[in-house]
Amino acid sequence: MTQLLSNWAAALARAAVKLWKGVTTACQAIPTDQPRHYEPELYYMRGPGPKWREKHACKDNSAGR
């Protein structure tokens, strides 16, 4: 009787390990939310706008042209 229980317990343990391996493999296959990489083209600026030019205009420079 004890041999039968021992065999049953060993079989149950093997089944539990096999199930656990399946669960962990499935969890590893699920893609995780990874942060997006920096994409500079999304933030590319073409240069200063008219307000910047108005603020930083050099009055001496405009007379020479």
- Determine the average pLDDT of the residues in 2-7: 82
pLDDT of amino acid 64: 46
* 16-64 tens-digit pLDDT: 999 999 999 988 888 777 777 888 777 777 778 888 889 988 765 555 4
Instruction: Give how far Cα 41 sits from Cα of 3, 26, 36, 47, Å.
Output: 70, 36, 14, 14
pLDDT of amino acid 18: 96
SS3 1: coil
pLDDT of amino acid 59: 67
pTM (global) more than 0.75 = no
CA 27 to chain centre: 16
